[in-house]
Amino acid sequence: MDGIIKAEWHPLKKVVIHRPGMEMFLGLLEPYSALYERAFSREGARKEHEFLERILKYEFNIEVIKLRDTVLDAAKKRHRIREKLIELARDCLEYGGDEATMKRAKEEFEKNIPYFDNLHFFYMIMMNPLIFFRTAKGARNIEVNITARQPVANLYFMRDQQFMTDKGIIICRMSKPSRRKETKITRFLWEDILDLPIEKEIEAPGTIEGGEFIPMDKFALVGIGDRTNRDAIEQLLTVDFNYEEIGVVHQPLHPLVGSDKPDPMINMHLDTYFNVASSEIVVGSEILLKNAIVEVYRNEGYGKFTKELKEINLYDYIKKKKFEIVNITTLEQLAYAANFLCVDNRQILAVEVERNVKGVLDTLKIRSRREPKRLGKLYNQAMQDYEYLKSEGQFFPHKKELYKFGIEVYPVSLKNLTGGFGAAHCMTCVLNRGF
């Protein structure tokens, strides 16, 4: 059933993706503020995204829903959807400057609506434009400045605006202001176009993102840290889930980064350092798993969870659940090894880490030169890992442990797309897993 997910390893049937467009160009004008890890080729990223879509469709027979195309197609066929699209676009458009010119422009916009195609309104939502006028004497002597305010440059990370649970869709409230508008677009898709019910929407002051949530059949894990706060966790624990327990995983400070100024982006979500490859196998960075404290909440039924007094680290918690752990090095974790997509039990679509490490190391080298006390140890460990992985020929996902446990791997190069701070898991909103 769409919107209902019990376990990360159940066979993947349907995903939603978004092909990055002009909003990525705007994000790349200032990668740091756009929450990107580094600069990269926009055209290369789009080609990688097209390749990822083809793999999902033709290698794994997964139904792929493209956000933009689905919205435009629905708006073309259904008047009500077009009207809602126009309403969302209108809410994103603001004017400033000369009062008389603003009044004329607003009236012109409303009058011209019948002439605009649906893509026009979609891009208005993506760009959130401010049109500012300055006028002088003379016919049409108008200076117009159009500003794209907080363009949704991260929308292609379709995992984060929501997550699917064993009770349905949870709409997130994004932590960073630059991403907060994304849920308006995705909620439009779920409710108005796909007609899927929303189980719960996290409200202010709560913040949570979909990369923090991993369903594991009888239990689920949810991260708490820079992107997810306590208020969101408390709201989540009022949902009448079927999971026997929920483990709240505290985002660990990386022990190789100076503690006076930690870097939460290194492991921003749970799925950046931990993931599930099968009903018996997980992959993770041991150094982070052993530093991540888990609060265990037992399900008492009817939306009531009781916290166990004893806390445990994530490594021991997962071992206690009888999972085998495939360890990844610090460099592999930084290069998004853990951010793979499980397409079936013991079958994963994983980033080709060896193609990623150069960009990761170059960026880390520059940063460590600026802040040697803070990032020097991390860079040195990453370089040691690089030399070791080269000598062993075992860059993730080409690991002996994965072959030993019978994990079937499909590696894919995403060296540009990962520049936005995520890989295949982050880029896919899983809508249906059969079980």
User: Where in the chain are the domains?
Assistant: 12-68+152-433, 71-148
d(CA 411, CA 397): 7
CB atoms within 10 A of CB 339: 27
Give the DSSP letter string of 10-35. SPEEEEEE----HHHHHHHTSTTTTT
pLDDT tens digit at each of 435 positions of the chain: 899 999 999 999 999 999 999 999 999 999 999 999 999 999 999 999 999 999 999 999 999 999 999 999 999 999 999 999 999 999 999 999 989 999 999 999 999 999 999 999 999 999 999 999 988 777 577 788 999 999 999 999 999 999 999 999 999 999 999 999 999 999 999 999 999 999 999 999 999 999 999 999 999 999 999 999 999 999 999 999 999 999 999 999 999 998 777 888 999 999 999 999 999 999 999 999 999 999 999 999 999 999 999 999 999 999 999 999 999 999 999 999 999 999 999 999 999 999 999 999 999 999 999 999 999 999 999 999 999 999 999 999 999 999 999 999 999 999 999 999 999 999 999 999 986
In CATH terms, the superfamily for domain 12-68+152-433 is L-arginine/glycine Amidinotransferase; Chain A (3.75.10.10)
Q: How many CB atoms lie within 10 A of CB 133?
A: 18
Contact 200, 150 (CB under 8 A): no
- Which pTM was predicted? 0.95
For residues 113 and 86, the answer to whether their CB atoms sit within 8 Å is yes
